Amino acid sequence: MVVSALDLRALTMLIVDDNANMRGILAAILKSAGVRRILEAGDGVEGLKLFSEREVDIVFTDLMMQPVDGLSFVHWIRNSQASPNPYAPIIMMTGHATRRSLDEARMAGVTEFLAKPLTARGVMHRINEVINNPRDFVRTEAYFGPCRRRRIDHDFAGDERRGVQPAPTALGGEAEIHAFDPEECY
For residue 12, give the CATH number of its domain.
3.40.50.2300
The number of folded domains in the chain is 2
Do both 158 and 125 map to the same domain? no
Please list the alpha-helical segments (H only) found in the chain: 20-32, 44-53, 70-79, 99-108, 120-132
φ/ψ bin of 173: left (φ > 0), alpha (ψ from -120 to 50), beta (otherwise): beta
**Helices 120-132 and 20-32, axial angle in degrees (round to 10):** 60
Do both 141 and 157 map to the same domain? no
Q: So what's the pLDDT on residue 157?
A: 55
Provide the pLDDT confidence category of residue 165 given band limits of 50, 70 and 90.
very low
Provide the pLDDT confidence category of residue 155 given band limits of 50, 70 and 90.
low
Q: Write the DSSP assignment of 98-135 as a string of letters.
A: -HHHHHHHHHHT-SEEEESSP-HHHHHHHHHHHHHS--
Cβ-in-10-Å burial (0-12, 13-18, 19+) of 145 comes to buried
Do both 66 and 136 map to the same domain? yes
Do both 22 and 101 map to the same domain? yes
Do both 32 and 80 map to the same domain? yes
Domain that holds residue 157: 151-186
Of 51, 50, 35, 43, the C-alpha closest to 87 is: 51
Q: So what's the pLDDT on residue 97?
A: 73
Give the pTM.
0.78
Do both 108 and 164 map to the same domain? no
Distance of CA 98 to the CA centre of its chain: 17
